[in-house]
Structure 1
Amino acid sequence: MGNRFHELAFTDVVKAHQQEHGSRRQYERMAQGGATGGSLGISEETFLSMRDSFYMASVSETGWPYIQHRGGAAGFVKVLAPELIAFADLRGNKQYISLGNLEHDARVALFFMDYPNQTRLKILGRVEIHESDSESATLIKRLRPADPKDIPERAILIHVEGFDWNCPQHITPRYTVEELQPALRPLQDRLAALEAENAGLRATIKTAAASRNVL
């Protein structure tokens, strides 16, 4: 548990609601277990290395929150240090809403979802953007995805200030094709075998019919 997350997220109003609804004592006990700050551990690094997407929330100059989805090959978000994660920001629809928001306010909230295992990691941090500067080329080379069709425009570094793991309650399991493949493979192999057997039987029947016609 990253208790620094609680310090940032649990305002007096939030604590009042926790008290009203009976959860304040539970979170107080968690806080007494010792704050871990924003340092990601091996569990968080392993979890991030397996994610192929996340959701990023920023705040606009008008005060409205904005959420954007980011995706890529599993592990496209790199842990560069215990308190620093990064990814190559790819060319998209060219609205640049998040980019504009982050220039106004560098704070972000990230949701990393593991739907099959009903697990969620929340991260709060501050963004550092590198585009067309002395560090951007090196960072983009380090972070760029393997697919040559992907065009990274900038490197986005996020200095982690707090994180929190969520319970699995109310997370609906969902699966990608890759995640379903181990379960589907025996069925696909069996189907292929049946199709081959069926093709052989059809060929045998066709040959037998042709022989009868000759006779």
Structure 2
Amino acid sequence: MSRFQELAFTPLVKQHQQEHGSRRQYERMAEHSPSGSTLGPDEQTFIGLRDSFYMASVSETGWPYVQHRGGPKGFVHPIDSSLIGFADLRGNKQYISLGNFDHDPRVALFFMDYPNQTRLKILGRVEVHEHDSKAPALIESFRPADKSSVVERVILVHVEGFDWNCPQHITPRYTVEEFQEALAPLTQKLAKLDEENAKLREKLRSLK
């Protein structure tokens, strides 16, 4: 059984899987799943290409809180096979996630690739570096290219389990950059046609 299944498939979860007919399927999957919690090359590459993710934490009142984090591609750094990190930039100063980490360092992360309908789920424990001796070097190493962004701290996540989801029910969505990349051949073709039309119009004017 994978480490993710060990953490997520509680007795009550298994009970519902049994009731709804999926328990045997996951038992078969567990027989062939890697037992460790380390991220392989595919997982690390996938994380390094993302420009956003969702992070869930648990508050002192027991309520879950989900936060969206975004940045340029590669703003989440796979440091090694069991550790990832990112610069925590100054935002609306609510600090809900930060307070939740003081209460419980466990987090769940969702990394989404909407165009390819792919999702990577990670369970881990957070390590915050802000006022400690390691913070200055970490903040500098994670500082984004945009110098106007204020890095308040670096958040490291020690991976305890991960799982890939099937594409079912993931609605494809595209960023402006992804649209521009997909439309680049058509844009170039249109530009070439405009250039040819301009030359033809100039030639027609010269014949009058």
Q: Flag whether TM exceeds 0.5 (same fold).
A: yes
Counterpart in the other structure of 1:67 = 66
- Could you tell me how far 1:13 is from its partner in structure 2? 0.7
- On the 8 A contact 1:61/1:104 being kept in 2, the answer is yes
* Structure 2: tracts of 5 or more residues without a match: none
Tell me the amino acid that sits aligned with residue 36 of structure 1. Answer: S
Distance in 2 (CA, whole Å) between partners of 1:153 and 1:168 is 35
Counterpart in the other structure of 1:127 = 126
Q: How does 1:150-189 map to 2 (within 5 A)?
A: 150-189=149-188
- Could you tell me how far 1:168 is from its partner in structure 2? 0.6
Counterpart in the other structure of 2:144 = 145
The answer to whether the aligner puts 1:29 opposite 2:28 as a matched pair is yes
Report the identity percentage: 69
Q: What TM-score, normalized to structure 1?
A: 0.89
The answer to whether the aligner puts 1:84 opposite 2:79 as a matched pair is no
- Could you tell me how far 1:142 is from its partner in structure 2? 1.5
Counterpart in the other structure of 1:45 = 44
* Structure 1: tracts of 5 or more residues without a match: 210-215
| SS of residue in 2 equivalent to 1:163 | strand
**CA deviations over 1:73-126 (Å, ceiling 9, x no partner):** 111111112111100111111111111111111110000001111110000001
Structure with higher Rg: it is 1
Tell me the amino acid that sits aligned with residue 89 of structure 1. Answer: D
| SS of residue in 2 equivalent to 1:149 | coil
Which aligned segments of 4 or more residues in structure 1 are displaced greater than 4 angstroms? 197-209
Q: How many residues align?
A: 208
- On the 8 A contact 1:3/1:30 being kept in 2, the answer is no
Counterpart in the other structure of 1:8 = 7
| SS of residue in 2 equivalent to 1:70 | strand
- Could you tell me how far 1:72 is from its partner in structure 2? 1.0
Q: What TM-score, normalized to structure 2?
A: 0.92
| SS of residue in 2 equivalent to 1:92 | coil
Distance in 2 (CA, whole Å) between partners of 1:108 and 1:38 is 15
